[in-house]
Amino acid sequence: MSQEIKIVIQKIDEYRYLVPRSFREGMRIEGLIYANDELIKAIERDQTLMQVANVATLPGLVGRSLAMPDAHQGYGFAIGGVAAADIQKGVVSAGGVGFDINCGVRLLRSDLSLEQVKPKLDPLLNQMFRDIPCGTGRKGIVGGLSYDELDRVLENGAHWAVRNGYGSDEDLRHIEETGRIPNADANKVSKRAKERGRDQLGTLGSGNHFAEVQYVAEVFDEEAGRVFGLSPQQIVILIHTGSRGLGHQVCTDYLDIMQEAMRRYNITIVDRQLACVPIQSPEGQSYLGAMAAAANFAFANRQMITHWTREAFTRVLGKGELKIVYDVCHNIAKEETHRVEGSSRRVLVHRKGATRAFPKHRPELPSDYADVGQPVLIPGSMGTCSYVLVGTEQAMEETFGSSCHGAGRSKSRHAAKKEISADQLVHQLQQKGIHVRGASKSGLTEENPDAYKDVSLVVEVVHNAGIAKKVAKLLPIGVIKG
């Protein structure tokens, strides 16, 4: 990493920057970054550009190594990175999915308005905070799940949760992959990963994970808003969490396995965190089986948290139905068909901090969304706004049907904490009408909204570049924080 970095990216238009193959030695494809003048400055400040270029050195990639406008420095891959590998000749990289496999977001819509919920907001948040296990070291309510049962979770995801009373079949239609990635193989998940995950099912976790009570502040696209069931002043809930310790350990295990196996396949890499193996190799197939299992764990996790949120709603408000608008993965590798250089190709799309953004008429969409496209859920930082977007044809042409995933951090947790005390932050948010319940004071201040890029700027770039279109803007009134 010590070689001299020549910053020679080329501005293509207002929202696109090309990272040419001359940027670093060994790049097999070009890089492309979605940003405006302001966001590109943030991207240039850390190692994001070099990481986009490093990814471009991996064998068997097609198209370009992409970075979304919320991109920031990650491990191996930049967070906000997208790369597609030819299914026959390409590689799969555990680091290209990341440690929190199927970290994702789910949006629930209620049939209640802001005015109806506001008077009971505090009891509602208290109830949610009691019912949803969150914060460091907290165990799930399904503590001590047997290993056999855990295997069923890993192979069936949200379907397992529904079968066990956490929601209904109706929920499954509105989850990416219906909440169960096929070909999940629980036998490819180590005992150690299962030990880490066994009592974490049904927990929110800490860090940037949250559950927020929000309302629809603005609808930009009435047709899509109507189809997604969103209208102004309506109360919605946004849940952000992933596969917990189980997914983290799957990634840790396979980074090791891939590093070892790479030698046999004569693959050399520029950053150890980019360890990869041919997709069709036994190690590649094992990883994909384990990754799918971890992703299913995350789907089940979000399904259980949904169930407890519904219970809290009913208990406190005495009414109100919460339906799933959609649930998207933002750390995942998916086998998909895309057009590459004019022909249709099977590829493995790595989305590391990026969201699938498929347009209308794709077979992967639920039938009721077929004529508008897939909802793309973009959470903002704590106390700021979030967005619902919809996938576009342009995303299929340019980004393997992908878009951004959030605001993207701009400051370290330490810097975020130094700027404000937890009490000040809670007070500030309260003044904006946002009530907060947090498991720890330091957890709160680390998520100080000032530590993030402006999510509206990120969404503007995505919208104007055409790789997803704005549907609605959501504002928070209550935050549950790990």
Partner 1 sequence: MIAAGLWVANSLGMKNTTMNDGYRILEHPSDIGIEAYGQSLKEVFEYAALGLVSIIVDPASIDPVEQRYVTLKGSDPENLLVRWLSEILYFYDGQDFLPSDIVIERLTKTELKAVVMGEPVDERKHSFKMDVKAITYHQLKVEEGKEGCLVRVFLDI
Is the Cβ of residue 6 or residue 263 nearer to partner 1 in the bound state? 263
Give the C-alpha distances (Å, rounded to integers) separating 69 from 99, 187, 240, 316: 21, 37, 20, 39
User: Which residues lie closer than 8 Å to 137 by C-beta, 6 or more apart?
Assistant: none
Reduced to 3 states (helix: H, G, I; strand: E, B; else coil), residue 325 is: strand
Annotate 374-408 with DSSP letters as a single string.
-EEEE--STTS-EEEEE--HHHHHHSSSEE--S--
Q: What is the closest distance, in whole angstroms, from the C-beta atom of residue 349 to partner 1 in the complex? A: 22
Is the Cβ of residue 247 or residue 373 nearer to partner 1 in the bound state? 247
Q: Rg of the chain over CA atoms, in angstroms? A: 21
| φ, ψ at 460 (rounded to 5°) | -60, -45
Catalytic annotation present for 240: no
| φ, ψ at 107 (rounded to 5°) | -110, 130
Closest by CA to 395, choosing from 350, 420, 347, 360, is 360
Q: What is the closest distance, in whole angstroms, from the C-beta atom of residue 196 to partner 1 in the complex? A: 4
> What is d(CA 443, CA 281) in angstroms, rounded to the nearest whole number?
41
Residue type present at position 352 = K
> What is d(CA 470, CA 387) in angstroms, rounded to the nearest whole number?
7
Is the Cβ of residue 310 or residue 453 nearer to partner 1 in the bound state? 453
**H or E stretch at 199:** none
Q: Which residues pair with 481 in a beta bridge?
A: 210, 438
Is the Cβ of residue 80 or residue 401 nearer to partner 1 in the bound state? 80
| φ, ψ at 457 (rounded to 5°) | -65, -45
User: Which residues lie closer than 8 Å to 282 by C-beta, 6 or more apart?
Assistant: none
Is the Cβ of residue 196 or residue 356 nearer to partner 1 in the bound state? 196
First to last CA, the chain: 35
Q: What is the closest distance, in whole angstroms, from the C-beta atom of residue 245 to partner 1 in the complex? A: 5
Is the Cβ of residue 251 or residue 304 nearer to partner 1 in the bound state? 251
Q: What is the closest distance, in whole angstroms, from the C-beta atom of residue 217 to partner 1 in the complex? A: 28
Q: Which of 72, 159, 330, 405 is catalytic?
A: 405
- Residue 183 in tokens: 């070909």
Residues that bind partner 1 (CB under 8 A): 1, 46, 72-76, 79, 98-100, 135-137, 192, 195-196, 205-207, 245, 248-249, 251-252, 255-256, 259-260, 271-273, 409-415, 417, 440, 442-443, 446
- Catalytic residues, which ones? 405
